[in-house]
Structures are given as C-alpha cells and as structure tokens.
Structure 1
C-alpha cells in the first residue's frame, strides 16, 4: 500500500484549519472498556446491533435512491415520456442528496447522529409511500428531489456514528457491512421495482420499494444502540464555509472529487439507459427480464472488497488506470447487438466503476488533513452529481443517437479521468524529483 501522502495525486494539502463540526479524535485504539473506552468491541451484542441497524439503513437508502431506475421503460410507456424525461426521476433524487449532504450531515453535530439518521430514513420512507400516487412527471420529480434531500442525512452521519461508537478493532468489519447494505440495497431496489413494475405497473413497483424501505427504517430504529460518545456542539456556518472552501482549493482533493464524478457519470449513464436498450430492438426483452440485469450490481460488492488488495499490489495510480481500462473495455464490448457481450460488458463496467470509486473515496480520507467529514461530504456531493449528470446526458444521447451515443458520453468521461490521472502522475514525479534535488543540496 502506498503511503497516504504519495501516489498519483501527491500535492501539498491546503493549510490546516480547525474543523467547525468535528471534535478531537476518539480515544486511542489500545484503550478498552476496562480503561473507560465504552465503544462496541468485536463480538459484542452492541456491535451486532449497530451493524444490523446500519445495514438496514444502508439498504433503505439505496432501495429508495435508485427505485425508479429499473422501471424507466415502464414509466416512459405509461406517462408517454422520452428516456431523458423519465431519467429525471433518478437525477432529481441524486441532485437533492448531493446538494443537501453537507448541511444536513452537519446538523448531526447539533442534534445527534441517531436523531438525524432516524429522521432521515423515516422521512424518505414516508415520501416513498406517497410516490405511487403521483399524477404526473412534475409531481413525481419534485417528490424524488425531496426524497434525495431527506436521504442526505444518512451517508456521512452513519460513518461518523460508526467511527465514534465502534472500537477501532471492529470498525473495518462494521463499515464493510454498512457498505454491503448500500450495495445490496442498490441491487435489490432496482430488481424489486423493475420486476414488480413489469408485472403490475410502475406504481406498484414504487409501492413495493416503499414498504421494504419502511420495514428497514423500523428495524434500524429498533436495533440502533444509544450513542454513548456523542457530545452536541455548535454549528458555525462561517467556519464550515472556510473548511469547505479550503478543500475546494486543494488541487489534489479537487482531482479526487472530479474522478468520483466522472466514474459515476459512466455508471449513471449505463444503468439508466441499459433497460431501454434491452426492451427495445433487437433484444426485445420484457420489463421484468430486462430488470434482472441489475443483479450484475453484486459484482460491485466483490470489486469493492478486492480493491484494497489490488491497490496494495499496483498502487493507487496503477489501480486507477486499471479501473479506467476495465470500464472502457466493458463499454466497447456493449456496442455490438449481442446480449452475451452486453452482459459481459456490464460486468466489466461495474467492476471498473466500483474499483475506481473505492480508490478515489479512500484517497480523500487520507488526503484531508482537517475537516475529513466535510471532505467526504464534498466527495459524495460530486459523486451523486455525477450520477445525475450521467443519467441525463446518457438518456439524451440515447434518444438522439441510440446506444452508441450513450457509450460515447461514457467514454468521454473515462478519457477525462485518464487525463486527470496522467496529470497527477506527472505532477507526483516532478514533485518527487524536486525533493530529491533539494535534499542533495
């Protein structure tokens, strides 16, 4: 594994500023319950409850966030929408989450992690219960945007809760189960809504997701242990703005945010449009059968788990190039009108996306010298804006130029990712050379 300050994006971080909403780091990992550290230890009942609760929260988040993506063809047929119009129901939720993730997650510093997560998941599930009754696209899109804003209280807050309440020796496994909930939720939300929509219509598809997400919300509230290490503190908007601004001025973080956006642009474009391609000529699959391709999403779980080992072998730069190459190869494989090739291509795209996302997101945490919660929130904002951008541009391109147009949008995003990574590589080597010369003097 490369050191935290080296690699493809080795810039000097921006000057350290005190975080406006983060307290000092928790007790050292060597402390135990006997010495006053009451965080949940491996194998403890509290840890199991926290893991299951946040697994349910992650499941609910991604059940809801992508609930309309698999049923877009059914939505288009029912409401007489173009692919670009229907894709707004996906983009609106992603934009809402992206814009709200920083301010909403900051509220947890004042009102508590558990309170914000509970309000977030139940509000989002409540909106989900109303979605099936939306009379038109405008109403549906507005409700989806509000749902995205509600969901913004979960991602960053859940990670902060785990960091505070779980002992460092158990943190990796707890975080892994939370991420697994995200992955499974993303897959099952698309599968359930798509299959039910194919059999009974899009309104019933949304209703099925609403019921599942409400059950997950209830399970979260019942299981989540009381926070024992949280201490409320004031929220300073001016200090928060200074921290966010300093991150945005950091060239290294800026490149990492851009990479997250670009990888998600590809993912959003492909998964938004693939359903339309499979139900249309020459494939002609049913809505339910076309939705089953989202089972490929499970590849992301394995790719995420393997990314650390790959990075340890090839370094962050090598792993990013590998992720970009894998994603691009998958895009090219989907071009022929061949269902087997399309499925293999989708597997490669998914594996490449998750690998690139894992490297970029992990590098943000290593790079930020202050305000790590805000740095992570900015990455998430760029990530979900990329999802919205990819869905919209990919659907527009498909409407005007077919699947080849969507692939062109995605390959353009990967070309930009290559340019950013190459720049980081050249800059890192130039910086290393300057340090060697300076040391020799």
Structure 2
C-alpha cells in the first residue's frame, strides 16, 4: 500500500480543492495595474517639464537630473532589492514598493523647489527599483509554465504603455488643472491600486494557486546566490535580452529628434508618431511572447530559436528602414522593425524562469532587469548620442541595428548550452534539497 506525504496535493479518496480560474488573472491585473502606475509616476514628470522650467527657472540639466535620478536608483537597487524580496516575502515587498513610490510622487506634487523635487524623485526610484522583477515572479507563480513567454512579454510591455499614458494624461491634467494636480493624480492611482492589491493578493492565496515547475526545473530547497551566474546558458539569456533592448531603447529616446530633423515634423507631430512606435514595441512584446509559447509548448528550446528570429527580423527591417529615403513608406518599415525590436523580452523571461532556482526567481529576474538596463536602456541612447556627434543622428541610427548581431550570437550560445544548463540546475536542486533535509534532521 502506497504512503502519502502530508503535503501531497491530493489524498486517497479525497478530491483536490477546486481552484478558481479567475484568481490568477486578478493577480495579473492588479500586478500589471501597479506596473502601469510605476511607469506613469516615473514618466509624468516629462509632461510637466515646461511648467517647472517656467515656474522655478530650472536649466535643462536640472530637468534631466529629475529623470536620471530615478533611472540611477533603479539601476543600482534592482538586484539587491530583488534578493531581499526573495527572502522577506514577495507580496509584502510589492506592497511596500508601491506605497513608497506613490507617497514619493505625492511629495513631488507638494515640492516647493528643485531640491525638494530631486529628493522626492530619489524616493520614487527607490520604490520602483525592483518592482518589475518581483512582480513578474509573483505573476508567473500562479500560471502554468507554458504561458510564461506571453505573460513575460505582456508584463514588460506595461512599461511602454504606462510611459505613454503617464505623459499623455499628465499633460492633459497639467494644462487643465496645473502641474501639481498631474503628479497628485498619479500618486492617487498608485495608492488606490495598492489597497486593492493588499486585500486581494496574499501569500496564502498565492501558495494555494502555485503551479508546479516544468519537469526539468528544480522543485525543492534553497539555492546559493551564485547559481544566478553559474551556467553559460542563463548568462547568455541575460546578455541576449539586454542587447536586443538596445535598439528599442534607441527608438524610445531618439525617434522624436529624428522625425523633427529629417522628416521636418513639429514637436507635437513627432511626439504623436513616436507614441505609435512605442505602442508597436509594446504590442510586439505581447504578440511575440504568445507566438513563442505556442510553438515551444512541447519543445522549450524553441524559445531560443524564436528569440533569434525576432532579433534577425528587427535587424533586417531597421537596417533597411534607416537606409531608405525619408517617406511614409520608410516609417512603415521602421515601424515593422519596432514591432520585433523587443520581441525577445517575453521569451527571455521564460528562459530565466527555467534556468534559475525557484527560491531565487525574483533575483533572477532582477539580474535580467539589470542586464536590460545596463546593456540596453542605458547604453543604447547614450552610445547613439556619442556616435551622432561625429556621424550625425541618421548615421548613428543606421549603425544601431548592429547590436542585434551580439544578441543573436549570445542566444545561439545559450541555445547550444541549454541541455547542459538544465542538468547543472537539477544537480544544484538535489544538493539544495539535501542541505534542507540535513538542517531539519
């Protein structure tokens, strides 16, 4: 007669407790809503720059510092705060983060000078630093593994959508009611969402809806932090994801200037076309993630193959697009390239989930976020700016798609080493489980 451990999900003669199919989507909706709030609070300041410049007499460098201080804190704190969340509790960490950035945005609304605004924006960056990595870890924990690329792409696309909403809505509110109300409104959205999240999402409910790992993934114990960087395949995923974000970041930063200088568009028209490109990037993250999940359901290695394909498509379309004469057709080609420019984001999230121990999953996503920030979001706009000083903006943009060659090379290496990486992870899990059992004995 077979014996059953007390923790088994189903005892003989007893049906497993029914689980709602709606609750995981409630978790996704609230976590995604807070991500939108994150980026709305971060980017709304861009919409009120003209008001701050006129009221406080700020220089352009001072205005830029109000944005860069948030990015700096996110870059510095993402990884350590992700590690802390894995230890302290992911749900509690998300609630605290959202309270901090929302309260800090409210402090921005009542700031009376540049110094107070800079200090409040510093706190916004502290609150937002690890939200993306911890949030996606919470979302993936309640969904089946075969939809990870779709959910990862959709979650990361929230940054593009939130930025667009924050700038557009913030500008409207600032014109109608004043810049302070624009900031206060973003803070209020965040505080309302965090209250809803706090009551709807608890660790006990997440544990009930926890999905087991894929057959090749670790199941027990706690792994050492060094395992986040101990195999070639996961490092390749970090590097490939970061480099494929390079061109997407360039488009976000330099498209308005390109349209103004080479297409003769005014700032308002250039901003509108740029917003369309931002939405295309976000839509591409979602669609490419869904395609990857569909074709890789029975063969996880295809996540690497599709990511390579998205990078190749973006490289070709962007390379051709920036060589064409300025025209509507050229913008269509560039738009198609923008759709695929960050298409590997969702698959990369699924790769990292498969290649990191469950006890360190938020930390793994923190490492991925750090790579995306350093190799893509920070390096892309800065490198193109340096090249533009000598080659002109168009010449620099024509070279930008070369970054995909590095991304494709990294992903090819990762795909080749993937089976060995899974074997190494399984051996690590056995050691972690053995250490846990020894500590209990």
TM-score (norm 1): 0.69
> Which SS does the other structure have where 2:263 is aligned?
coil
1:417 to 385, 407, 431: 407
Q: Structure 2, unaligned stretches of length 5 or more?
A: 1-6, 208-221, 422-441
CA distance in structure 2 between the aligned counterparts of 1:388 and 1:425, rounded to whole angstroms:
26
Q: Does the 8 Å contact 2:130/2:366 carry over to 1?
A: no
1:309 to 276, 294, 299: 294
Q: Does 1:208 align with 2:182?
A: yes
Q: CA deviation at 1:154?
A: 2.2
Q: CA deviation at 1:271?
A: 0.6
Q: Provide closer, same or farther for how the CA distance between residues 295 and 89 of structure 1 changes in structure 2, counting only shifts above 3 A.
A: farther
Q: CA deviation at 1:109?
A: 4.7
2:226 to 225, 245, 258: 245
CA distance in structure 2 between the aligned counterparts of 1:72 and 1:399, rounded to whole angstroms:
25
Q: Provide closer, same or farther for how the CA distance between residues 330 and 94 of structure 1 changes in structure 2, counting only shifts above 3 A.
A: farther
2:192 to 199, 209, 218: 218
1:266 to 226, 230, 247: 247
Match of 1:228 in 2: 204
Q: Does 1:356 align with 2:344?
A: yes
Q: State the Cα RMSD in Å.
A: 4.4
Match of 1:299 in 2: 283
Q: CA deviation at 1:28?
A: 7.1
CA distance in structure 2 between the aligned counterparts of 1:76 and 1:37, rounded to whole angstroms:
59
Q: Does the 8 Å contact 1:192/1:208 carry over to 2?
A: no
Q: Provide closer, same or farther for how the CA distance between residues 319 and 287 of structure 1 changes in structure 2, counting only shifts above 3 A.
A: same
Q: CA deviation at 1:389?
A: 1.8
1:42 to 16, 21, 28: 21
Q: Provide closer, same or farther for how the CA distance between residues 206 and 272 of structure 1 changes in structure 2, counting only shifts above 3 A.
A: farther
Q: Provide closer, same or farther for how the CA distance between residues 113 and 221 of structure 1 changes in structure 2, counting only shifts above 3 A.
A: farther
> Which SS does the other structure have where 1:402 is aligned?
helix
Q: Does the 8 Å contact 2:292/2:347 carry over to 1?
A: yes
Q: Provide closer, same or farther for how the CA distance between residues 348 and 253 of structure 1 changes in structure 2, counting only shifts above 3 A.
A: same
Q: Provide closer, same or farther for how the CA distance between residues 192 and 341 of structure 1 changes in structure 2, counting only shifts above 3 A.
A: farther
1:229-287 residue CA offsets vs partner (Å, 9 max, x unmatched): 679xxxxxxxxx98333322322221111112111222112211112222345322233
1:30-69 residue CA offsets vs partner (Å, 9 max, x unmatched): 79xx76768x5213xx556434322321221232344467
> Which SS does the other structure have where 2:203 is aligned?
coil
Q: Structure 1, unaligned stretches of length 5 or more?
A: 1-26, 232-240, 432-441
CA distance in structure 1 between the aligned counterparts of 2:247 and 2:328, rounded to whole angstroms:
20
Match of 1:375 in 2: 364
> Which SS does the other structure have where 2:347 is aligned?
helix
Q: Does the 8 Å contact 2:53/2:59 carry over to 1?
A: yes
Match of 1:104 in 2: 81
Q: CA deviation at 1:350?
A: 3.1
Q: Does the 8 Å contact 1:190/1:294 carry over to 2?
A: yes
Q: Does the 8 Å contact 1:53/1:221 carry over to 2?
A: no
CA distance in structure 1 between the aligned counterparts of 2:180 and 2:256, rounded to whole angstroms:
17
Q: Does the 8 Å contact 2:31/2:135 carry over to 1?
A: yes
Q: CA deviation at 1:387?
A: 1.0
Aligned length: 385
2:30 to 36, 41, 53: 53
Q: Does the 8 Å contact 1:197/1:204 carry over to 2?
A: no
Q: CA deviation at 1:144?
A: 4.4
Q: CA deviation at 1:161?
A: 3.5
Structure 1 range deviating more: 356-365 or 274-283: 274-283
Match of 1:21 in 2: none
Match of 1:7 in 2: none
CA distance in structure 1 between the aligned counterparts of 2:386 and 2:334, rounded to whole angstroms:
20
Match of 1:347 in 2: 335
Q: Provide closer, same or farther for how the CA distance between residues 276 and 213 of structure 1 changes in structure 2, counting only shifts above 3 A.
A: farther
Match of 1:319 in 2: 306
